[in-house]
Amino acid sequence: MSTLTTANGLPCNVVHWIIDDGVSSYWLYTACGLLRTTRSELEAWAADPKRKIQLTVFDSADGIPPRGILLPWRPHVTKAPDGRIWFKNGSKVTVIDGSHIGINTLPPPVHIEQITADGKTYDAVRGLHLPPLVRNVTIDYTALSLAAPERVHFRYKLEGQDPDWREVINDREVQYSNLPPRNYRFRVVACNNSGVWNETGDVLDFAVDPAYYQTRWFQAAVVTAFLALLWGLYRYRLHRMAHEYNVRLEERVEERTRIARDLHDTLLQTFQGLMLRFQVVDELLPPGKAKEELQSTLEFGDQAVVEARNAVHDLRSSATTSNDLAQALRTLWNELAKETTAAFRLVVEGQPRDLNPIVRDEIYRIAREALRNAAAHAAANHIEAEITYDEQLIRLRVRDDGRGIPPEILERGRAGHYGLAGLRERARSVGAKLKISSGEGIGTEIEVTVPGTIAYGKPPRWARLWPFRRALG
């Protein structure tokens, strides 16, 4: 079941009666006038309830004023034997002979005349471009109908703005406000007083030009600038963090130098003076058990002095020289090769660079611990160390094909052993990332990565450019 409503083309929903004239049409008396439609239109609507039917409206201009409410007398309409229709229209009786009513079968020609934007008039030509930021746009159109120009119906639609067609009666202009910049197509169709539509109508293509800040290139530039700003802030934050880290590392270097100097100038000198006094006592003692014990103690003291001197030397040299890390690992392996039969391979990628002394020492100690474990405990056939020098980082990898580390030890460490914990602590102390990959039977790989701004103690190349240098200070 379907209901014919304004959604299907009726001017109003109140229908008082409907009758067939026996010729080809149906007549409907509504609250907004007398309507006429063809039988074929109703049949098409019955087949498609969403379809809009074509109607002819007879109202006050035709001598049939609309009546919202009819008197309760019955009947309101009847058809005579000669086919004429008699019906009450208020206090009057009206007769219609459907077979003698002329129908205007000529569709009205439609023309879009002009378009006005913010008071300036433009000819309705295809490809028209309106200036940016127009607020009020008026489109004038018309349709020629000599029989009853005041009865012409229009339907118009601005594609890109109107979601559906709009219908008006004898209204020959339409206004739009604040149209966004884009391409538009305005379409308008019209019907005459007999409901005959010109479905082709007229079409106007026009565009509202964008302001410079509404263009895609400007929006893309803004997005790019915003992303560049975020990237710059991110890089600036990294630089500041690296700078703070380097400051702390330099403080550690200075502290180690101070400790080495103090040890040499105070404790070591005092200990050497004490050894000299012991030697004087040794010369005064006669041969015997006491002299032998004192000489043995002096030898032990000499060894302690040598070890102390070596420790002081290591502290000072770590803070003042730029040793070759690869050469240090080769020397280390020459010492470890006595403990294993595994083949060793060292790979260096990139141009070797001077490292921050603290960073270099910690990387070396991590490598030493990894190589010692591989040589002493992994039972590996091949051990490889790889050093990568890059503008953004320095990376050290030590891998072997040995028995691997059990997962529980890799996660929690071995009771009473602090090798793995020491590796993590050393990496953390210089802002490095430590990754240990291992499993039983698949070997072990230890990778430590230090950002270049920390490892090399200087900003990356992009930060050395003039504007960044000023910004980063």
Q: Given this model, what pLDDT does residue 458 score?
A: 60
Instruction: Please state the pTM of the whole predicted model.
Output: 0.45
Residues 200 and 296 in one domain: no
Q: Which residue has the higher pLDDT, 254 or 11?
A: 11
Residues 407 and 391 in one domain: yes
Residues 330 and 315 in one domain: no
Q: Which residue has the higher pLDDT, 61 or 150?
A: 150
Question: 414: which residues sit within 8 A by CB, 6+ positions away?
Answer: none
Q: Which of 176-185, 399-408, 417-426 has the lowest mean pLDDT?
A: 417-426
Q: Highest mean pLDDT: which of 59-63, 266-270, 378-382, 455-459?
A: 378-382
Task: CATH number of the domain at 148, please.
Answer: 2.60.40.10
For 31, list phi and psi in degrees, rounded to 5. -70, -15
Q: How does residue 86 score in pLDDT terms, banded at 50, 70 and 90?
A: confident
The full DSSP string for 211-270 is PGGGSHHHHHHHHHHHHHHHHHHHHHHHHHHHHHHHHHHHHHHHHHHHHHHHIIIIIIHH
Tens of pLDDT, residue by residue over 162-193, are: 988 998 887 899 999 999 999 999 999 998 87
Q: Is the pLDDT assigned to residue 273 strictly greater than 80?
A: no
**Consecutive H or E run containing 469:** helix 466-472
Q: Which residue has the higher pLDDT, 471 or 278?
A: 278
Residues 227 and 205 in one domain: no
Among 100, 129, 146, identify where a domain stops: 100
Q: Flag whether 65 is in a domain.
A: yes
Q: Flag whether 1 is in a domain.
A: no
Q: How does residue 68 score in pLDDT terms, banded at 50, 70 and 90?
A: low
Residues 92 and 11 in one domain: yes
Question: What's the whole-number average pLDDT of the chain?
Answer: 80
Q: Which of 24-33, 64-73, 387-396 has the lowest mean pLDDT?
A: 64-73
Residues 282 and 392 in one domain: no
Question: How many domains are contained in the chain?
Answer: 4
Q: Given this model, what pLDDT does residue 7 score?
A: 83
Q: Which residue has the higher pLDDT, 320 or 402?
A: 402
Residues 306 and 317 in one domain: yes
| Over residues 346-363, mean pLDDT | 86
Tens of pLDDT, residue by residue over 307-346, are: 666 666 655 555 444 458 888 888 888 888 887 888 999 9
Q: Flag whether 105 is in a domain.
A: no
Residues 371 and 437 in one domain: yes
For 48, list phi and psi in degrees, rounded to 5. -135, 90
Looking at residue 53, the DSSP 8-state letter turns out to be P
Among 100, 123, 141, identify where a domain stops: 100
Q: Given this model, what pLDDT does residue 466 score?
A: 45
Residues 131 and 242 in one domain: no
| Coil, strand or helix at 401 | coil
Among 321, 352, 376, identify where a domain stops: 321
Q: Which of 97-101, 203-207, 366-370, 439-443 has the lowest mean pLDDT?
A: 97-101
| Coil, strand or helix at 155 | strand
Tens of pLDDT, residue by residue over 208-240, are: 999 988 888 999 999 999 999 999 888 888 778
Q: Given this model, what pLDDT does residue 377 score?
A: 82
Q: Flag whether 243 is in a domain.
A: yes
Q: Highest mean pLDDT: which of 137-151, 250-264, 280-294, 337-351?
A: 337-351
Q: Is 115 exposed, middle or buried (0-12, 13-18, 19+ CB in 10 A)?
A: buried
Task: CATH number of the domain at 464, please.
Answer: 3.30.565.10
**What CA–CA distance (Å, rounded) separates 79 from 81?**
7
Q: Given this model, what pLDDT does residue 276 score?
A: 78
| Over residues 47-57, mean pLDDT | 83
**What CA–CA distance (Å, rounded) separates 456 from 452?**
6
Percent of the chain with pLDDT over 90: 22
Q: Given this model, what pLDDT does residue 472 score?
A: 40
Q: Given this model, what pLDDT does residue 313 score?
A: 62
What range does the domain containing 337 cover? 323-473
Q: Given this model, what pLDDT does residue 428 score?
A: 86
Q: Residue 166 forms beta bridges with which residues?
A: 156
Q: In this structure, are residues 360 and 323 in contact, taking their beta carbons and an 8 Å threshold?
A: yes
Q: Which residue has the higher pLDDT, 105 or 199?
A: 199
Q: Given this model, what pLDDT does residue 407 score?
A: 78
Residues 152 and 138 in one domain: yes
Percent of the chain with pLDDT over 70: 82
Q: Flag whether 66 is in a domain.
A: yes
Residues 468 and 397 in one domain: yes
| Over residues 125-132, mean pLDDT | 90
Q: Flag whether 332 is in a domain.
A: yes
Residues 329 and 469 in one domain: yes
Q: Flag whether 204 is in a domain.
A: yes
| Over residues 120-134, mean pLDDT | 90
Q: Flag whether 11 is in a domain.
A: yes
